Amino acid sequence: MNERKVTKVTLLHYIKLTYRSILFISAVIWYIWERMNYNKVSLNELPGGAGAVIPAIIWLVFMIEMVLRFFPSQWESPGCQKQFRKNYISTGKTDIIIQDDNATVIVAFVWLILNASIGALYMTDILDQGIMLLLSLAYSICDIICILFFCPFQTWFLKNKCCSTCRIYNWDYAMMFTPLFFVPGKYTWSLLLASIILLARWEFTVWKYPERFSENTNSYFKCANCSEKLCVHKKQLRRLWDRLIIEKKKKEKRILQQITVDEKGK
């Protein structure tokens, strides 16, 4: 029964999803307002007064999030906490098994190609700086959706059993702020730089202490030690989805049978 309750880590993700969605909606309203007033949206030359509030809040929220990610926390997912020494519980085994690095390279390649295409649209003035910020905020919402509901990287590329064993968990902020690479300036590149430092620290730890990232050598990954239980949450959602699909098919079948009966009656 305890496994079915929403854990504090899961609850935090729902809170993140809520305030990131609010930030996105607020930014959309801010962007539309600026455009309606024929103002050029420039992230590195923010207007004074109310016009600078939304971008400033966005910067502050994500900078705080990234700084906190550098330190151990019981409120964070085991997926990003496995890098810390305090969370290494030796199994006594020495065979280090981590998700296929080729899949990791493919994920990086696909992501860079996607965002290079977006960058090309920005460089040709089809997109502006405001849209690039909105895109980063959209990515931030998708990041939580991947954790709570469905992750294409897990399903299609990495094939890891859950978020706790994810090889690229701490790539999230670097992926989130990739669009800002094309918008040079203190506002944009400070967010990007913090995310890259976070990514570099993660990759260095993978290289230096790979035993922390292997389920075979680190008991921290055992389900009994998991403080997140997102796999249970996702399975419940999956069962609900499957049930809805089955009900839909049954309904379609009944409608088809009724049509067949009506046609025979004619």
pTM of the model: 0.87
Each residue's pLDDT tens digit, 80-101: 999 999 999 999 999 998 877 7
> Which helix (H) or strand (E) element contains residue 98?
none
The answer to whether the CB of 91 falls within 8 A of the CB of 218 is: yes
Domain residue extents for the chain: 2-228, 230-266
C-alpha distances in angstroms, 198 versus 139, 143, 169?
17, 16, 11
Whether the predicted pLDDT of 200 surpasses 80: yes
Each residue's pLDDT tens digit, 20-43: 999 999 999 999 998 888 777 888
The answer to whether the CB of 97 falls within 8 A of the CB of 216 is: yes
> Which helix (H) or strand (E) element contains residue 80?
helix 78-81
Whether the predicted pLDDT of 74 surpasses 80: yes
